[in-house]
Amino acid sequence: MKIGIIGCGRWGTFIGWYLDKTGHDVTIYGRSSSKNFNELKTSRANSVLSLNDSTKLTDDLKEICSCEVIIISIGSQALRGLMKELKEYELKDKIFCLCMKGLEQETGKRLSEIVEEESDPSNKIAVWLGPGHVQEFYHGVPNLMVIDSKDEHVKELLVREFSGELIRFYYGDDLLGNEIGAAAKNVIGIAAGALDAMNISSMKGALMSRGAREISRLISVMGGNELSAYGLCHLGDYEATVFSPFSHNRMFGELFVKGEKYDKLAEGYYTVKAIMLLKEQYNVDLPVCEAVYSVLYSGVSAEDA
């Protein structure tokens, strides 16, 4: 398959490396002003992995638009802006696959909803979600992930084409639940980091139990399957988010409580604001998410929360 990847951060670069490794024709796009892109262009490597010579790099969006599958792996709050930028290319009959987790903080909308709103109806949309860290994948540690879409053909195509010895893909059957679960697990990751900062990491068991339960309530009231919260998108991703030293959200939560700066993207910071919108809209009890929001946005101490 001819695959274009928009985003040259750790995930976008890994996806390029992985899909090249599984035999696809891969091009990675990054802005000419991007530090990550210029690092890749100069050395064909970042701090985690090295790209094969067969993986192409471009700073011209037009080159990505000729691909049959366009994978997007950028910060969730930049997605709508990107889709508006792509409108000038009048893309039709493409498959957009979102390998990113989050909600639009101003509206609470899911990422697939944003793509649907901002692109031609002929385009199909899928999500690629689940556990795993680039650092571990690159060193041969396998994991399970999930692909979901409203379109069964697209789902089957991507699972078949993307599967390899490193990643086994499962077929999702609840797009709403998988997207909400994947976004919300980053909020739980921030809470886990707060527990680490307060030296009460033993409470992570309770956090995992109650966190998954409240997200299942949110998914259910929104019209999804509450059991999705216990699948790969959410509970299945807890090890990588709640415990791992590679988790950006866990580290952000820990350093925030300690009063230290963190300069990497922690999607949970934006997601929890969107979740508070959903809490009011659907009148659902979300005490863990509310506690995280109170610490990040309302100045409440982590101990009190």
Catalytic residue IDs: 185
Strand partners, 127: 98, 148
Place of tokens 């910071």: 269
